[in-house]
Structure 1
Amino acid sequence: MKELINYILQFGSLNQQQLAFIEKMTSEIELQKDEYFSEAGKIPNQVGFVLEGVIRGCYYNNKGEEITRCFINENSLVVDYINFETNTISSEYLQALTPCRLIVFSKQDWEELSHTITSWDNIKNKMVQKCLFQKSRKNPVISQDATTRYLEFMKNYPSLVNRVPLVYIASYLGVTQQSLSRIRKNIR
């Protein structure tokens, strides 16, 4: 829980009573490898904070190919926020790539924080902006060559290179697994 509290306090000040209330609004869950935190075709109903593990955001393109959009690891929020906020059906999956431990807020509890803690909306907005920025900023630039994209991935996600299956890294980079293996071999 202290990881979540430290994360929240980066975005604003809260007193002990407010922090205790936040803690009361959470629960801890575990996801097994390949289990979904949220799924396409359903309305996202929780906000998570990753304590342990790696989650990937993915979707299927119009050709039916699975595309990895982002990776979310420890000390980060995980949520399909736009669909969560608007109560709309998601078109993406948030899937555990490793066994994961998360602290979660239900939609009701997340909204209750806004009604109870006056500074929560400001803190929440900053956390969500960081979450959305991390997802968008780290997408590979397809105009770059594949080697540059992989080097960029290694810079942005140094702790994930050996934790995430190559098939998902290749999908994220927009290359085949064979191409990624060649790139990795040439870099060493």
Structure 2
Amino acid sequence: MKELFDFILRFGNLNPQQIDFITSKAKEIDFKKDEYFSETGKIASQVGFVVDGILRVCYYNNEGEEITKYFIEENNLVVDLESFDNQIISSSYVQAITDCKMIIFSRKDWLELLQTIVGFDVIVNKIISRALLLKVERRSPLVTEDATKRYLKFLEIYPNVVNRIPLSYVASYLGVTQSSLSRIRKNI
């Protein structure tokens, strides 16, 4: 639980009663590798915080190919925000790609936290703004660069991820085949 509060308190202040209230709503859950935190075709119903492990957000394109949009590593919140906020069916999967230890809040409990704790909505909005900015910063260079530069940028963006996940997911994220990625890695 300490990791969660270290993270939240970077964006605002909470008093001991507010921390206790958040703790009372939190559930620690383990997700096994390949389990889904949320799935396409369903409405996202929970917010999570990654204590240990890595998840990925992915979807299937029109040709049925699996495309990895991004990775979520330790000390980050995870939620399919559009589905969760608007109560609409998700078009993405959020999948554990390593065994993960997470702190989970149901939608009902999360909304209660937002309605009860004065200023919690401001903290959450700061967290969301940071996450969206990071997402744009991480994806933008990948659009214009060649495959080798995209891989080098990936190593810079996700230094703690590359040796912990299957290369097929890295290749999918970079938009290259696994054999191309192997050649790139060999030449570096």
TM-superposed CA distance for 1:55, in Å, is 0.2
Give RMSD over aligned pairs: 0.9
Q: Which residue does the alignment assign to 1:149?
A: 150
Q: Could you tell me whether the CA contact under 8 Å between 1:59 and 1:93 is conserved in 2?
A: yes
Q: Which residue does the alignment assign to 1:117?
A: 117
1:45-56 counterparts in 2 under 5 A?
A: 45-56=45-56
Q: Which residue does the alignment assign to 1:87?
A: 87
CA distance in 2, matches of 1:136, 1:85: 20
- 2:83 is the alignment partner of 1:75: no
Q: Which runs of 4+ in 1 moved over 6 A?
A: none
TM-superposed CA distance for 1:63, in Å, is 1.4
1:162-177 counterparts in 2 under 5 A?
A: 162-177=163-178
CA distance in 2, matches of 1:82, 1:165: 28
How far does the alpha carbon of each residue in 1:21-52 deviate from its partner, in whole angstroms, 9 at most, with x for none?
11111101111110000000000000000001
TM-superposed CA distance for 1:118, in Å, is 1.1
Percent identity over the alignment? 58
Q: Could you tell me whether the CA contact under 8 Å between 1:46 and 1:106 is conserved in 2?
A: yes
Q: Which residue does the alignment assign to 2:6?
A: 6
Aligned residue for 2:154, secondary structure, equals helix
More deviation in 133-142 or 6-15? 133-142
Aligned residues: 187
Give the gaps of 5 or more residues in structure 1: none
More deviation in 52-61 or 128-137? 128-137
Q: Which residue does the alignment assign to 1:66?
A: 66
Aligned residue for 1:141, secondary structure, equals helix
Q: Could you tell me whether the CA contact under 8 Å between 1:150 and 1:173 is conserved in 2?
A: yes
TM-superposed CA distance for 1:138, in Å, is 1.6
Aligned residue for 1:19, secondary structure, equals helix
1:126-145 counterparts in 2 under 5 A?
A: 126-139=126-139, 141-145=142-146
Q: TM-score, normalised by structure 1?
A: 0.97
TM-superposed CA distance for 1:145, in Å, is 0.3
Give the gaps of 5 or more residues in structure 2: none
TM-superposed CA distance for 1:141, in Å, is 2.0
Q: Could you tell me whether the CA contact under 8 Å between 1:47 and 1:78 is conserved in 2?
A: yes
Q: Could you tell me whether the CA contact under 8 Å between 1:78 and 1:131 is conserved in 2?
A: no
Aligned-partner residue type, residue 171 of structure 2:
A
Aligned residue for 1:105, secondary structure, equals strand
CA distance in 2, matches of 1:51, 1:142: 30
CA distance in 2, matches of 1:70, 1:37: 15
TM-superposed CA distance for 1:133, in Å, is 2.7
TM-superposed CA distance for 1:136, in Å, is 3.2
Aligned residue for 1:47, secondary structure, equals strand
More deviation in 133-142 or 89-98? 133-142
